[in-house]
């Protein structure tokens, strides 16, 4: 191997390694599954587990939200699928919604999940065509979660008792 080829290969390896380090710094994956899922998503090979997703939907529609989130986590272990993250956020909204008050901890976690879904969606727009849902876009869910975290005089309105969960 001549010197020019060796230098070119060395430069290529260095640039690839630097790109990997930069990607890890920007994405900050928390588990090795997120690392491998993120890398497979970059090359277009990432797929969710359809069976676990179906289990999650079944639990979600039965109002068993913690169980649904566990199934969604199994379906999307690398946290790279926008639609799955939408349902995770929606489950936090539904579980945290109350006539008298909203659970701020669940709403904050839902807000983090919907932000992930929006970031993963093509062009930042995510619409889920599911007739069982009261809200179909990530923007609607985000607005509801943010509104639930705000403290306003309207929170004291007794008519709030007659509100419905979406």
pLDDT the model gives residue 154: 60
DSSP the chain: --HHHHHHHHHHHHHHHHHHHHHHHHH--SSHHHHHHHHHHHTT-----HHHHHHHHHHHHTT-HHHHHHHHHHH-TTS--HHHHHHHHHHHHHHH--SS---HHHHHHHHHHHHHHHHHSGGG--B---TT-S--BHHHHHHHHHHHHS--GGGG-GGGGG----
pLDDT the model gives residue 106: 95
What domains sit in the chain, N to C, each tagged with a CATH number?
A: 46-162 (1.25.40.10)
The pTM for the full model equals 0.76
pLDDT the model gives residue 35: 59
pLDDT the model gives residue 19: 80
pLDDT the model gives residue 108: 94
pLDDT the model gives residue 107: 93
pLDDT the model gives residue 17: 80
In tens digits, the chain (166 residues) has pLDDT values of: 788 998 888 889 898 888 877 766 666 666 666 556 565 555 556 789 999 999 999 999 999 999 999 999 999 988 889 999 999 999 999 998 876 778 889 999 999 999 999 999 988 899 999 999 999 999 999 999 998 887 766 655 566 666 777 7
């Amino acid at each position: 191997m001549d010197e020019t080829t060796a230098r070119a290969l060395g430069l290529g390896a260095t640039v690839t390694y630097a790109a990997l380090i930069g990607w890890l710094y920007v994405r900050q994956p928390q588990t090795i599954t997120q690392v491998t899922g993120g890398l497979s998503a970059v090359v277009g090979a990432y797929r969710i587990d359809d069976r676990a997703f179906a289990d999650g939907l079944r639990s979600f529609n039965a109002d068993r939200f913690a169980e649904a989130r566990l199934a969604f986590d199994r379906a999307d272990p690398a946290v790279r699928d926008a639609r799955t993250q939408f349902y995770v956020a929606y489950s936090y909204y539904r579980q945290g919604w109350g006539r008298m008050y909203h659970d701020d901890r669940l709403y904050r976690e839902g807000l983090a999940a919907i932000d992930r879904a929006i970031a993963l969606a093509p062009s930042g727009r995510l619409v889920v065509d599911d007739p069982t849902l009261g809200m179909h876009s990530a923007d609607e869910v985000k607005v509801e979660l943010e509104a639930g975290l705000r403290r306003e005089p309207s929170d004291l309105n007794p008519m709030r008792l007659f509100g419905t969960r979406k």
